[in-house]
A and B are shown apart, each in its own frame.
Chain A
Amino acid sequence: MKDTIMPLRDQRVTLAHGGGGKAMRDLIESVFTSVFNPPGMEDQARLMDARLQEPGARLAFTTDSFVVTPVEFPGGDIGKIAVCGTVNDLAVGGAKPLWLSASFIIEEGCEVALLRRLVASMAREAAKAGVRIVTGDTKVVNRGACDTVYITTAGVGVIPPGRDLDARSIRPGDVAIVNHVLGDHGAAILAARGDLMLSTDLESDCQSLGHLMEALIAAAPGTKAARDATRGGLASTLNEMAEAAGCSVELDEIALPLRPEVKGVCEILGLDPLYLANEGTLVVFVPEAEAQAALAAMRAMPEGQGACIIGRAVPKAHVPVTLRTAFGGTRIVDMLVGEQLPRIC
């Protein structure tokens, strides 16, 4: 870190902060690098980790962009999501997350105080997840060209030798487990947008899942594959996994963990909670023999207290995912077409 940081006097970001000159340097140093504290001040991060040198270790690399309205919401903000989302993409693939990059597209007029809050939130979540934000970029665009701020993070992690989580290894009989109630993030965001005038206590489930994955794999070494059920919700994630696996998945409606508030929001809007986005909820397939060990290990962690079995892999049927209803009927759980739209009546 530099010894002295000029306090940024501006209250709002102007196009000058994107001009490549002194104003930009002041913004970057005062708001970003003073908090993220990256190693060295070159335009690239130069990194070493002993785990990468183990024979058979593999590098995992992923990226994700984040656009959320509103940028701050109950349970998180776009900064926290930008860290959790990329950490989770690494973690569910079996990687230990190590380093992140963070790039910001900032709308002219964005409050500097808001940026500071987002950066603090990112630093907090990164520390919690055990990753460092080591490089980044900022751009400022004209008012109206983006919505307040967009963040892109890329992440690098290391997959230990011998670990190979892959949806293609899922077999009939494997058990599907989730760590958390479904749909909290999607429902909280809908409520937070305010145009529904819904008043709920719902909070986004936004959380990093790296530590949970490590505990899970330690307890259930036969773990087949995991995914975080973000956009498109559990339904879309399971469809992708089933298609990759070459088998089908049968869910049990009674077993699906849902908060009454989420059910309520969905009832009012005609939405299906299986399609609501999550930001800290994963679905994992483990062999039946390891299911109880996996559940116990997950429930011992704060991120996994709500862990429960929601269904299982079955031999390939004509559709990837079905749901056994509370009445004993069966229905297809399809991929979402476009976006879920609230129904007229």
Chain B
Amino acid sequence: MLNVGKIEEGFVLDHIQAGKSLTLYYNLGLDKKDCTVAMIMNAKSGKMGKKDILKVECDIDDLNMDILAVVDHNITVNVVKDGEIVEKKELVLPKEITNVFKCKNPRCITSIEQGLPHIFVLADEKKEIYRCKYCEEKYKQRVKTVVQ
């Protein structure tokens, strides 16, 4: 049994689909932040069989909930203060998400127009489909995070 200690302040992301935590690490831009991250992969889960967990020690305002919701809104977000879970945040799909994902359609105006924000709009809430605001191309998982 592997033990990872408590964090003092930050967040614990639980119920991440097994194997997805590394993608999430990059999607959230944690590689560019000055914070300590513990990545637990393939942990046993009664609900999911196997799951990943991310423990991030940082300012709680640093977490972009919109990105989390788009990537997987089933993730449980626990906010930690003074070593204790003080809040569980519910993830809601944002109506619009800006400069997080890049449109991959080579015919989209975002591929040539400088300084144009990459905006995805929630086109179908039931099916969780996002489309590029400009060309209406469907957002597919595993798109690269926009380099800021």
Chain B associates with chain A: no
